[in-house]
Structure 1
Amino acid sequence: MKKILVINPGSTSTKISIFEDDKEIISENIEHKVEDIEKCKKVMEQLPFRKKCVVDFLKRNNLSIDDLDAIAARGGILPPMKSGTYRVDEEMVNYLKTKPIVDHASNLAAVIAYELSKQSSKELPVYITDPISVDEFIPQSRISGIPQLERHSLFHALNMKIVARFAANELNKKYEECNFVIVHLGGGISVGAQRKGLMIDVNNASDEGPFSSERSGELPMDDLAKWIFKNLTSYSKEEVKSNFIGKGGLFAYLGTPSLKDALEKANKNESARLIIDAMAYQIAKEIGGMAALLGGELDAIVITGGMAQSDYFVQKIKDKIDKLGLIMVYPGSYEMEGLALGALRALNNLESSKLWEGEKAL
């Protein structure tokens, strides 16, 4: 039985688990002090106290580094790369420390794991699986409509890929044989077309596709350009961006990013109900478009993420897409399982772990 430590840093907390094979036996979500987060100008400055949290977690549970068979870390925001499980090495760690594309909490995980592995008396493998920057686009997916701006693959790869594996298992089919439309419903919404194990297209959850709890999604270009130029002297670049990512979507319309609170408002207010209906409408529209890319060869539509815990909201989406095919729902997040199972596949030689090829991996 393989014992795997899983490390998954979020913006203000760090999730840590111990898995024995595919079973999670210990789990903690450690909230960090706001002042500790705010005094760090860059995320990597949080490394000492984030790492100490993991060390203390092991001590509390009477575990040492030598008790582990592997460490599975959330993949940081690396340059575009194929999906799969990668062995963390010094080159990847140095990149995350010095050249991250985005200053994001996920960049800490592999660095923490790699440094801890060096304290082991044995060679302790460290893995990442399906980071945000997974890129399996076909050439047509990259075309935006203007040569200067290429579309990029950035999505909730870890959660979407693991629920695809769950769905394939339920269907008694090989993961690499299945065609899915996969929908992650969270603070950002990703809707992707996965063909034979490859995500050939997906909306960038930051600025494409449906609006979500706090993001605006796609916007009318002419009106957007007018709004930006009108407000150039009133807002900084960061403030303009925050109107669309962080303060958009449900938050902009209803004053809350919480679907639960928004649904309560919708029960009392017709205009709030319209916003909920519109979000489900846009999600369904995106699903239909991705289904078209698969040419009707669709094994299932797979819905996951935090908002998928609302049966009411999921049903609103289902009502519009139920004729497209089988709908499978995996509410919540399966990131910890995705990391542990990726490491386990590598340890058991069910999947060859990949070596990161650096900045020009694609």
Structure 2
Amino acid sequence: MSHTVLAINPGSTSTKIAIYDGEELRFEEEMRHSFDELKKFETILDQLDFRKEAIVERLEQTGFKLAELDAVVGRGGLLRPLKGGTYEVTKKMVNDLKIGVSGQHASNLGGLIAKDLSTPLGIKAYIVDPVVVDELIPTSRISGHAAYERISIFHALNHKATARKVAKQLGKTYEESRFVIAHLGGGISVAAHLGGEAIDVNNALGGEGPFSPERSGTLPMSAFLEACFEPGASKAEMQKQLVGEGGIISYFGTNDMREIERRIEAGDAEAALVFDAMAIQVSKEIAAVSVYFKGNFDGIILTGGLARSQAFTDKVTELVSWIGRVILSPGEDELKALNEGTQRILAKVEQAKEY
């Protein structure tokens, strides 16, 4: 039986939506929101009605009737740590998304919009594999100082969807598979996946792991600590050095890796140096988490937008192929992943988890 699902993925300046009938895509659109449209809202939560109304208006323009829906799914936001899976949006979840229990981000609006649209229709609202998926084993939580525990914030939605896709190609289930997965995008996260869980992963928002197009990754702590106490330094400014203005942006003022590759082709030695350094750091992280498998695993998966760069994936493959086979699964389709998680619930292949 085919179920009709509306998937919603709010970003900082856009809202992506799609209608699926089973696995078949009926309609997809990215609605851009200008600076002038968003600047009148003091907080992300204040954007809720604006974004919801934009979705309803656009669907009405296509002739789609909300009554056709069997479920609505939104991108999961910064909730409390939880296991991977599909979760029904409950009153408790709505409250945590509204207060920003783990921080404010546009993705927090996904579950809220889904709930607001689903309630009048008498159907369920869901989220799937939010960034706060935490499946770390006890040793992965040890940081090296008793005052600080490592936490899990990563690109869980794409990690899990890609793992299921590749496992199926190999004739296995995700739970039967053993993967190292590197999501390569604006942020980079590298995880060891064992038994259907990400047992170790760098915190992609917390100054860990490889640097990326816009994040600094692991920095020299002594130098960073000194900078924190320089005159005029603020927590907000230092946070931007970690996320938003770190990585490639800090070196070249752009997060566009295509521009970096053009500079390399034009003979820019510094661009080539930093490009190679990022590939090396990704490869070192892959090598680090591969220790869990002792050589017995199904492969190293490179995914995310940067996995479309042959120059980058060639470099990483050259450095890590001695550890295990490298499997390319470029790009990320978050709306598709949201739908797949919801379809598994509607088809009763899985049960929705309780937040």
TM-score by length of 2: 0.97
Number of the residue aligned with 2:237: 239
Which aligned runs of 4 or more in structure 1 are off by greater than 3 angstroms? none
Deviation string for 1:236-259 (max 9, x for gaps)? Answer: 211122122111111111221111
User: How many Å separate the matches in 1 of 2:90 and 2:289?
Assistant: 36
Deviation string for 1:45-76 (max 9, x for gaps)? Answer: 00011001110122022122210111111111
Deviates more, 1:292-301 or 1:137-146: 292-301
Corresponding residue SS for 1:256: coil
Corresponding residue SS for 1:291: helix
Corresponding residue SS for 2:328: strand
Number of the residue aligned with 1:340: 339
Number of the residue aligned with 1:360: none
Number of the residue aligned with 2:98: 97
For residues 181-192 of structure 1, the aligned pairs below 5 Å read: 181-192=180-191
Whether the 8 Å CA contact 2:307–2:328 is kept in 1: the answer is yes
Alignment counterpart, residue 255 of structure 1, candidates 253, 256, 259: 253
Number of the residue aligned with 1:172: 171
Deviates more, 1:49-58 or 1:159-168: 49-58
User: How many Å separate the matches in 2 of 1:248 and 1:216?
Assistant: 4
Code of the residue aligned with 2:228 in structure 1: it is I
Whether the 8 Å CA contact 1:132–1:156 is kept in 2: the answer is yes
TM-score by length of 1: 0.95
Code of the residue aligned with 1:93 in structure 2: it is V
Number of the residue aligned with 1:225: 225
Corresponding residue SS for 2:16: strand
Number of the residue aligned with 1:136: 135
Number of the residue aligned with 1:354: 353
For residues 1-362 of structure 1, the aligned pairs below 5 Å read: 1-120=2-121, 123-206=122-205, 207-229=207-229, 231=230, 233-267=231-265, 268-356=267-355
Code of the residue aligned with 1:171 in structure 2: it is L
Corresponding residue SS for 1:219: coil
Number of the residue aligned with 1:359: none
User: How many Å separate the matches in 1 of 2:96 and 2:286?
Assistant: 35
Code of the residue aligned with 1:236 in structure 2: it is S
Deviates more, 1:182-191 or 1:287-296: 287-296
Corresponding residue SS for 2:126: strand
User: How many Å separate the matches in 2 of 1:124 and 1:246?
Assistant: 38
Instruction: Pick closer, same or farther for the CA change 1:253–1:58 going to 2, 3 Å.
Output: same
Whether the 8 Å CA contact 1:100–1:107 is kept in 2: the answer is no
Identical-pair percentage: 43
User: How many Å separate the matches in 2 of 1:90 and 1:221?
Assistant: 41
Corresponding residue SS for 1:5: strand
Q: Matched residue pairs, number? A: 352
Code of the residue aligned with 1:242 in structure 2: it is K
Q: Which runs of 5+ in 2 are unaligned?
A: none
Whether the 8 Å CA contact 1:65–1:119 is kept in 2: the answer is no
User: How many Å separate the matches in 2 of 1:168 and 1:174?
Assistant: 5
